[in-house]
A and B are shown apart, each in its own frame.
Chain A
């Protein structure tokens, strides 16, 4: 296994601090020290692809080049970063006139890129490389009694993923089940949360997030667990808008999978950033306290 370097992305430093706060210690417990990519820049996400695709490829090429110099593969927890890096990586490796142009510009600035870096998502690494057996060995507290809907969103599973299904992925479910968590049969697991549109087009955002949260509630989930910072953000902030439009107050806690992993590994709620949640998480504590088993 090649070593990994960690690409946090802008969200993990601002609105999704609890993603980073949980991912890094979880990987450390599993024996993987995640060092941050030196002087990484923003991936540009949907914005740069919409405005200027050459610049989008170039800024991602800069990150890929820095990782290549370190001799490591990139681990990118944010769905938008994951997709942007993968998209640029495929493009820069395709050998077209356009991609050669970007590569030569990178090279002139000391950012040569040969195309040796692979971009991976932490869930992929946890399930397929570190493995469920090692994860089970590290569990100190089984999270029995908790029932969640695991929500993947779009950009990790579409269109570039090689590790799971585009419509009904299972990796995160397998991971959560290993912790003792029950996962519901969640048919909305790859429905779109609206991404960058939701905060600006609130009616659209409310509708898309309503569909996801309602489905989770109907399936009896105590919380929605996700792997994308923007999904988490939309699912949290849209609940007040949903209350106004659909007259339903879900109070559905939205968590990162890594926060639950940390708890199962014996880390505290405070360490796992649960106080950063915009939705009360009390109801899930009661469930875990009743059903949880010390290992």
Chain B
């Protein structure tokens, strides 16, 4: 029998990872996880995940930073908050997933060739630039970024239906005071 599990030595771990995630998720309770699995059984997307939410909690506690950051799991979290409201240890699991996503983006370790991180980054870029999001432009950017013109082709019939029912805006939506928004977003990233 071949053993599939990869061995991870303590040297490969980041024992500060738990503290980083605690701080970023504003959740001190991760330590209290008893591996009961309520989160995984509440999760609508667990079947598609490489590590279930319960495993992500254990890996995070154990300092398996690389494994966690490269996992698809946080990107498959649809933010339904089912796990979060049910967790008997009151861990804000959805917020932990958000924290993992942000660290993965910051360290550029999120799974490549997967549309969700690209979509979130593009959407965030558009809405912080214009103050509003525009689906059409988001879709165009997304398919260009993922080099998937076929995807765009597949979406065309839906796009036409939405235009026909008046549910798609062609113009780039925008707020009036873009200058203020730009200043604000620049300021929050400065220390003082």
Contact = CB atoms under 8 A, between A and B. Distances in A.
A130 interface: no
Contact of B79 (A59, A195, A201): A195
A156 B119 CA distance: 23
A111 interface: yes
A17 B166 contact: yes
B187 A109 contact: yes
A260 B167 CA distance: 19
Q: Which of A17, A45, A46, A91 has the most CB of B within 10 A?
A: A46
Interface string A60-98: 001000000000000000000000000000010000000
A110 B187 CA distance: 13
B176 interface: yes
Given A46-B79, A154-B79, A195-B79, A159 B116 contact: no
A197 B123 CA distance: 13
B101 A50 contact: yes
A109 B180 contact: yes
Interface in A255-295: 275-278
Given A42-B133, A208-B44, A50 B120 contact: yes
A47 interface: yes
B161 A278 contact: yes
A47 B173 CA distance: 17
Contacts of B84: 158-159
A111 B151 CA distance: 41
Contacts of B27: none
B132 A41 contact: yes
Contact of B128 (A49, A55, A196): A55
B124 A48 contact: yes
Contacts of B188: 54-55, 57-58, 101-102, 105
Interface stretch (A8-16, A23-31, A120-128, A178-186): A8-16
A49 to B, nearest CB: 5
Contacts, number: 164
A53 B128 contact: no
Contacts of A166: 85
B82 A154 contact: yes
B165 A51 contact: no
B165 A47 contact: no
A62 B181 contact: yes
A58 B184 contact: yes
Contacts of A55: 124, 128, 185, 188-189
Contacts of A194: 44-45, 78
Contacts of B102: 50-53
Contacts of A195: 78-80
B168 A51 contact: no
A32 interface: no
A54 B48 CA distance: 30
Contacts of A108: 187
A294 B101 CA distance: 54
B162 interface: yes
B40 interface: no
A151 B76 CA distance: 22
Interface string A178-213: 000000000000111011110011001000100000
A237 interface: yes
B6 interface: no
B121 interface: yes
Contact of A237 (B76, B158, B166): B158
B113 interface: no
B115 interface: yes
B15 to A, nearest CB: 24
Given A14-B134, A52-B102, A278-B162, 17 more contacts: A13-B132, A14-B167, A44-B127, A47-B124, A51-B105, A51-B121, A52-B124, A55-B188, A55-B189, A59-B185, A109-B180, A154-B79, A154-B80, A158-B84, A192-B44, A194-B78, A201-B115
Q: Which 4 A-B pairs have the closest CB atoms?
A: A158-B81, A192-B80, A47-B123, A154-B80
14 contacts: A14-B135, A14-B167, A50-B105, A50-B124, A53-B98, A59-B181, A59-B184, A62-B184, A109-B180, A158-B82, A192-B45, A201-B48, A204-B76, A278-B165
Interface of A: 10, 13-17, 39-42, 44-55, 57-59, 62, 91, 101-102, 105-106, 108-111, 154-155, 158-159, 166, 190-192, 194-197, 200-201, 204, 208, 237, 275-278
